[in-house]
Amino acid sequence: MIQILPGTQVKVAAGQRETALSVTGTVAMPLELDWGEKVTVIRPGADTRMSLGYAMNSEELKCVNEVLGGAEKLILYRLNGSGEKAKAALSESITVRAKYSGKRGNDITVSVEPNGGAWDVTTLLGTFVADTQTVSSPEDFTANDLVELEGTGELSSVVVKLTGGSNGTVGEDDWSAFQAEMEKQEFNVLCYVGTDLATAKALIGWVKQQRQKNNMIQMVQSVVAANHPAVYYSTIGGKTSDYSLSAAQACATMAGLLAQQGVKGSLTHFNRVSGWLDVSRQLTREQQEARVQAGEILFVMLYGVPAVLYDINSLTTFTEECPKDFSKGLVMRTLDQYARELQKLLDSRVIGKVRNDQNGRAQVKSMILEMTVQNYLNQGYIEGFTADDISVTMTADRDAVTAGVAIRVADTVDKIQITVTAA
């Protein structure tokens, strides 16, 4: 800034900003659907009638509704989108065709009625009026969220219901495509609401592979006692005023709650399960103890209210690499979130920007310390952390360093033993 005249000039500039945190509160779920895109991103409160064909609280979308009872965002993947699109003839030369494949397209009705010298083209989904356009010719019609018009010619009064829409059949290629798409997405929890053993095992294997690539995702499923700290084994269903949920379908509820809690707190005795009236089935105390020991995370009735019994994952075999505290859900969510944020911090502020000399390595250590203290120690997520818990050293390669960070997650108090003595 060149200054010609005497006096004071002040420039306001943006300083170093805190690196944005990694993704939180997001669930990915593959599902067979009657309508919709291959990938749809949905947030709580969304109107899904046009995008997915039904209201959020409908029987058809109950797993979507359950996820969003807790999660901030759902990445929904349609597995069976290879079916046929419904269609109907408005005339010999004009066809109305559904926007997506699927049997929900068979519930679309299109009416054409005269309006002065033009025509009103109305699109209905069931009894819901989705769109009305006044046009002079089919070329004037703008494709809406349900249908498009094809062809040319004169419009005339007609009411048609679309037919021929069908859902696709899900095969191995669809699951491979799902995995390929999810590698492009950022999310915390993968939710599987199916019951097929081979599919569940394949998805668990994929989650393990992703974690080896530093993509620290977790998974909820009801099929396999996976014995893994990143896989939850949720085995109890539930009931709401609108629908019932099998154990597999209730994995959607659990996934939403896990995404909601994240590192903020434990799900142990969490009793704000949105919309639930009961669990299915209710277990005795002895059954609860046996299932917890088997690595199952359970919905139970706790003082008359549906709740999560104990925030644990499926890990039941403990080793030096996977000690007992790795079976606690809050511990693993905190460690995974920390790993994601540390990677993002160093990728965005160190790689290619900081020189690998003594000062540069000290700068890296300072960044790690600041992020850990601000985002974890001061928030109460970890305890006893100091700068001495960080090491940054040079390796034999001139462009590489090794860094070590020792953190102790502050778990919640989950067990209390009291002796009451009568005086």
Tens-place pLDDT, residues 146-173:
999 999 999 999 999 999 999 999 999 9
Q: Say whether 286 sits in a helix, a strand or coil.
A: helix
The predicted structure's pLDDT at residue 17:
45
Q: What is the DSSP string of 38-69?
A: SEEEE-TT---TTTTSS-TTSSTTHHHHHHTT
| DSSP assignment letter at 328 | B
In the chain, the amino acid numbered 240 is: T
pLDDT exceeds 80 at position 347: yes
- Nearest Cα residue to 218 out of 195, 234, 238, 236: 234
Sign of CA dihedral 256, 262, 265, 269: positive
Contact 178, 203 (CB under 8 A): no
CB atoms inside a 10 Å sphere around CB 124: 18
The predicted structure's pLDDT at residue 83:
97
C-alpha to C-alpha distances, 46 to 68, 81, 240, 251, nearest whole angstrom? 10, 21, 20, 21
The predicted structure's pLDDT at residue 87:
98
pLDDT exceeds 60 at position 282: yes
Structure tokens at 297: 């995370």
Q: Say whether 245 sits in a helix, a strand or coil.
A: strand
416 — pLDDT class (breaks 50, 70, 90): confident
The predicted structure's pLDDT at residue 10:
47
- Cα distance between residue 271 and residue 277, in whole Å: 11
The predicted structure's pLDDT at residue 23:
74
Contact 119, 75 (CB under 8 A): no
Which phi and psi (to 5°) does residue 255 adopt? -60, -40
- Nearest Cα residue to 121 out of 160, 84, 92, 87: 160
The predicted structure's pLDDT at residue 417:
77
Q: Say whether 89 sits in a helix, a strand or coil.
A: strand
Q: What is the mean pLDDT of residues 102-113?
A: 98
Q: What is the DSSP string of 101-148?
A: ESGGGGGEEEEEEEETTEEEEEEEETTEEEEEEEESSGGGPPP-SSEE
- Cα distance between residue 24 and residue 70, in whole Å: 12
Predicted TM-score (pTM) of the model is 0.92
Contact 308, 256 (CB under 8 A): no
The predicted structure's pLDDT at residue 419:
74
- Strands, DSSP E only, in 212-258? 218-221, 231-234, 237-240, 244-245
Contact 86, 110 (CB under 8 A): no
Pair type for strands 108-115 and 158-161: antiparallel
- Cα distance between residue 52 and residue 63, in whole Å: 12
The predicted structure's pLDDT at residue 19:
47
pLDDT exceeds 60 at position 4: no
Averaged confidence pLDDT in the chain: 93
